Amino acid sequence: MDIMQVIKDQIETNDILLYMKGSPNQPMCGFSARTVQAVMECGQKFAYVDILSNPEIRTNLPVYANWPTFPQLWVKGELVGGCDIVTEMHTKGELKPLLEEAAPQA
């Protein structure tokens, strides 16, 4: 499958998706660590993709998203942003309601 289609499918099938370096339990850079902490503090389940173990995604996602850096948080198919935006939204209390609204209802 074409890598752009893989990225599109990942974004469309996961309500909350974080492209990051490493994993939520073991982030591999400070920006990913701060972003995943903010997302985890909101209490919603989310999917993640480790771009370090997926070099094709690491190369092509910035083209797909028109966003050059990682991490990238996607909610309901829309790019929310990277570390600075996500942590600022969390500090202002804007991230939790966004993620709660996006999370699948049990």
- Encode pLDDT of 46-63 as tens digits: 999 999 999 999 999 999
Distance of CA 102 to the CA centre of its chain: 13
Average pLDDT of the segment spanning 70-98: 98
Sign of CA dihedral 85, 86, 87, 92: positive
| Residues annotated in a binding site | 21, 29, 58, 70, 83-84
What single-letter amino acid sits at 27?
A: P
The answer for residues whose C-beta is within 8 angstroms of residue 2's C-beta and 6 or more apart is none
Query: Strand ranges (DSSP E) for the chain?
Result: 16-20, 22-23, 26-27, 47-50, 72-75, 78-81
- Encode pLDDT of 15-34 as tens digits: 999 999 999 999 999 999 99
Domain boundaries, the chain: 3-102
User: How far apart (Å, rounded) are the C-alpha atoms in residues 103 and 106?
Assistant: 9
| Residues annotated in a binding site for glutathione | 21, 58, 70, 83-84
Domain 3-102 homologous superfamily, CATH: Glutaredoxin (3.40.30.10)
| Residues annotated in a binding site for [2Fe-2S] cluster | 29
pTM of the model: 0.95
